[in-house]
Amino acid sequence: DIKNIRPHFVYGLVGPLVSRPDIKYVKAFYDRPLALGPEVRPSGGGRVTEILVRPLFSLFFPELTAIIQPLSGEYAVRREVLEKIPFPIGYGVETAHLIDVYCRWGLEAFAQTDLDRRVHRNQSIYDLGRMAFGVLQAFISRTRSAGILQETRPLAQVLRQFQVRAGQYELVQHRIVEEERPPMVEVPAYRRKFGLDP
Work out the pLDDT band at 197, boundaries 50, 70, 90.
Answer: confident
d(CA 34, CA 74): 18
Q: 74 lies in which domain range?
A: 8-193
Residue 198 placed within a domain: no
CATH code for the domain of 64: 3.90.550.10
> Which one-letter DSSP state was computed for residue 153?
S
Residue 3 placed within a domain: no
pTM of the model: 0.85
Give 72-81 pLDDT, tens digit per residue: 989 999 999 9
Q: Which residue has the higher pLDDT, 27 or 36?
A: 27
- Whether 8 shows a pLDDT value over 80: the answer reads no
- Whether 67 shows a pLDDT value over 70: the answer reads yes
> Which one-letter DSSP state was computed for residue 196?
-
Give the 3-state secondary structure of residue 17: helix
Residue 1 placed within a domain: no
- Write out the H or E segment, with its range, that includes residue 161: strand 158-165
d(CA 119, CA 2): 6
d(CA 163, CA 177): 21
Q: What is the CA radius of gyration of the chain?
A: 18
- Total domain count, the chain: 1
Q: Are 184 and 83 in contact (CB under 8 A)?
A: yes
Q: Are 25 and 75 in contact (CB under 8 A)?
A: yes
Residue 80 placed within a domain: yes
Give 110-156 pLDDT, tens digit per residue: 999 998 867 656 778 899 999 999 999 999 999 998 999 887 678 88
Q: Which residue has the higher pLDDT, 9 or 79?
A: 79
Strand 25-31 to 110-117 pairing: parallel
d(CA 100, CA 51): 22
Mean pLDDT (the chain) is 88
Residue 56 placed within a domain: yes
Q: Are 69 and 118 in contact (CB under 8 A)?
A: no
d(CA 99, CA 105): 10
**Percentage of the residues of the chain whose pLDDT score is greater than 70:** 87
Residue 37 placed within a domain: yes
